[in-house]
């Protein structure tokens, strides 16, 4: 017993330090205007909001985004503080001519990498660099039930080269359950056909359980989600939901849609991995390319 040194407390020491510093999570939302991007973000995070610069309030008048806008929020749960940056993009593909419509979005993501690299390279480095690198891109797919638009395929391909892309079928309540299943399968087949490899990626560091979880996620993507900033009454209980022509949807009920799976994935199972993958894969690729260019 005398040989106890006490280094096992390092996990508590790390936890203490991390809790004090808090966490930074940056999400960008991409998709046509009116697909429910703002609504979904509010549905996932708004109830935990403690401090907000920007627009995440419910019951706002129609918001249409015309430029890329970042809004920062601090959310808190059991003493853990998460600084959340939500970057809203103008609906891409809204116009007749969609040539290069993804450029501003890709540029925005690269600009954040570039800003981070500059800070890393300055002689007097900040002890802690403010991280604006985008950890996750929620990509909203129109619930047509047919297939991806050619423009979606191009944009997803471009984005997947610089950021973790997580596709969702927007407003899934406009499709029946069978239609959703077929649509999901078709989209996954199209991704394979066009050689678009999306997050999550397996690494040697993953244990069996993580590999299984990633496989499950890949088989579920794109998440068929329904968002709502309003409450509805179901069996005498107030829940987040929507009324439509078929009845009432409880968005937190897994039998109604995959909102809960998406939320668990983003906040409970893959938050840390999204952040790490951004640093180790996407940012690293950007960084080595930049540094190589400097040498030439």
The packing angle between helices 284-295 and 103-121, to 10°, is 70
- Smallest gap from Cβ 93 to Mg ion, in A, equals 14
- Smallest gap from Cβ 251 to Mg ion, in A, equals 18
33 binds, among Mg ion, ligand GDP, none (CB under 5 to 8 A by kind): ligand GDP
Beta pairing partners, 54: none
Rounded Cα distance between 26 and 84, Å, is 6
- Smallest gap from Cβ 278 to ligand GDP, in A, equals 23
Rounded Cα distance between 11 and 62, Å, is 47
Residue from the set 227, 241, 258, 286 that interacts with ligand GDP by CB under 6 A: 227
Residue from the set 24, 26, 39, 142 that interacts with ligand GDP by CB under 6 A: 39
- Terminal-to-terminal C-alpha distance of the chain: 59
- Smallest gap from Cβ 64 to ligand GDP, in A, equals 6
CA angle (47, 49, 86) in 5-degree steps = 105
Cβ-Cβ contacts under 8 Å for 27 (sequence gap 6 or more): 41, 84, 85, 86, 87, 134, 135, 136, 137, 138
26 binds, among ligand GDP, Mg ion, none (CB under 5 to 8 A by kind): none
Whether 90 and 67 have beta carbons less than 8 Å apart is answered as yes
Measured in residues, the chain has a length of 296
Rounded Cα distance between 250 and 239, Å, is 6
Q: Segment 54-93, which members bind ligand GDP (CB under 6 A)?
A: 63
Q: Which two tokens stand for residue 117?
A: 């690299």
258 binds, among ligand GDP, Mg ion, none (CB under 5 to 8 A by kind): none
Compute how many residues bind ligand GDP; rule: CB under 6 A: 14
- Smallest gap from Cβ 36 to ligand GDP, in A, equals 3
241 binds, among Mg ion, ligand GDP, none (CB under 5 to 8 A by kind): none
171 binds, among Mg ion, ligand GDP, none (CB under 5 to 8 A by kind): ligand GDP
Q: Segment 133-172, which members bind ligand GDP (CB under 6 A)?
A: 171
Backbone angles phi, psi at 151, to 5 degrees: -65, -35
DSSP at 34? T
Contact between 38 and Mg ion (CB under 5 A)? Answer: yes
Piece of the chain touching ligand GDP by CB under 6 A; list 35-43, 127-135, 145-153, 232-240:
35-43
Considering the complex, state which of residue 37 and residue 73 has its C-beta at the smaller distance from Mg ion.
37
Residue ranges binding ligand GDP (CB under 6 A): 33-39, 63, 171, 173-174, 226-227, 242
């Amino acid at each position: 017993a005398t040989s106890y040194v006490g280094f096992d407390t390092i996990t508590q020491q790390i936890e203490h330090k991390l809790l004090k510093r808090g966490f930074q999570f940056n999400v960008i939302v991409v998709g046509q205007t009116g697909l429910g991007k703002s609504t979904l973000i509010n549905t996932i995070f708004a109830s935990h909001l403690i401090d907000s610069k920007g627009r995440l309030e419910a019951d706002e008048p129609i918001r249409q985004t015309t430029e890329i806008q970042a809004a920062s929020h601090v959310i808190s749960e059991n003493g853990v503080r998460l600084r959340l940056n939500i970057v809203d993009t103008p609906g891409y593909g809204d116009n007749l001519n969609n040539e290069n419509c993804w450029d501003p979005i890709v540029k925005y993501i690269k600009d954040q990498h570039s800003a981070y690299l500059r800070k890393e390279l300055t002689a007097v480095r900040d002890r802690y660099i403010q991280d604006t690198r985008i950890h996750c891109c929620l990509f909203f797919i129109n619930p047509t039930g047919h297939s991806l638009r050619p423009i979606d395929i191009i944009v997803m391909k471009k984005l997947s080269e610089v950021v973790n892309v997580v596709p969702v079928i927007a407003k899934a309540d406009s499709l029946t359950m069978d239609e959703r299943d077929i649509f999901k399968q078709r989209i996954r087949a199209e991704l394979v056909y066009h050689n678009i490899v999306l997050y999550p990626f397996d690494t040697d560091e993953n244990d069996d359980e993580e590999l299984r979880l990633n496989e499950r996620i890949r088989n579920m993507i794109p998440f068929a989600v329904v968002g709502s900033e309003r409450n509805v009454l179901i069996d005498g209980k107030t829940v987040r939901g929507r009324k439509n022509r078929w009845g009432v949807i409880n968005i937190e009920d897994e039998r109604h849609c995959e909102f809960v799976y998406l939320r668990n994935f983003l906040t409970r199972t893959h938050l840390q991995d999204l952040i790490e993958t951004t640093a180790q894969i996407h940012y690293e690729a950007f960084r080595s390319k930049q540094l190589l260019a400097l040498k030439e």
